[in-house]
Structure 1
Amino acid sequence: MIVHESDALAKTNRINMLFDFYEKLLTEKQQTFLKYYFHDDYTLGEIAAEFDITRQAVYEHVKRAGAVLESYESKLGLLRKHTAAENWLSKLELLAEQTEPNEELRTKLQDIARGLREEVHGTT
């Protein structure tokens, strides 16, 4: 089976996003292996050497932790909800830009979008 680079990148991005939402629900070992593999871009061999285990064992840990993240997402849907909120915010911001002649409405829409974006990203 050939894995295209864009597919691998998409998978890495998804795992990283899921990790951001569900990191604290993983075991310490799962967190460590995912951080090394997906965040720090270590190879399976490098991780295996670091922990004195086989590459296959590292692969199984990473695979299992990824499955756990996907399981949390299927139950809780935090990434799905976050993505939907981002899409709605983008639409609101675009609408605000299109209300050019009505400066008051444009400002109100931009304020709403800014407030929602702060809530979504927890930067209030």
Structure 2
Amino acid sequence: MLEKTTRINYLFDFYQTLLTPKQRNYMELYYLEDYSLGEISETFHVSRQAVYDNIRRTEAMLEEYEEKLNLYAKFQERQQLIEELQGKLTDQKEVLDSLERLKDLD
């Protein structure tokens, strides 16, 4: 469940401007503010089922946008490359530090 929530949060970050204000409100309250379906339904004076249906349809829309645009997938690829580069930089720094220590022994 946490993995799904994290994915939806990222998709929402990338594609929220493509949603209607109502969809954005429901998603923000449900995923970002951790409101229950009942709390959202009370806030907007609609049924709990209406909120549930809207959130599920919006999730499906976000997945469709990702399928077509791949912004989240590209973001993940960049993050992986950054981690790899950071690892290589750390390795290089360790090598340079070792060389510096050897130089100081001379």
TM bucket by the smaller chain? 0.7 to 0.9
Which residues in structure 2 correspond to 1:52-63 (within 5 Å)? 52-63=45-56
1:24 Cα deviation from its structure 2 partner: 0.4
The offset of 1:78, in angstroms, is 0.3
Runs of 4+ off more than 4 Å: none
The residue number in structure 1 matching 2:12 is 19
Q: CA RMSD in A?
A: 1.0
- 1:73-92 equivalence runs, <5 A: 73-92=66-85
Counterpart CA distance in 1 for 2:3 and 2:56 is 16
Mark the runs of 5 or more structure 1 residues left unpaired by the alignment.
1-7, 104-124
> Which structure 2 residue ranges, 5 or more long, are not aligned?
98-106
Give the Cα separation in 1 of the matches to 2:51 and 2:12: 17
AA aligned to 1:97 is: T
Choose from 51, 67, 89 the match for 1:96.
89
> Taking structure 2 as the reference length, what is the TM-score of the superposition?
0.87
**What is the deviation of 1:101?**
2.4
Q: Secondary structure at the match of 1:53?
A: coil
Deviation at 1:11, TM superposition (A): 1.1
2 CA distance for matches of 1:12 and 1:57? 20
Corresponding position: 1:10 with 2:3: yes
Question: Of the two, which has the highest radius of gyration?
Answer: 2
Aligned residues: 96
2:104 aligns with: none
Q: Paired residue for 1:51? A: 44
**Identity of matched residues, %:** 43
Greater helix percent: which structure? 2
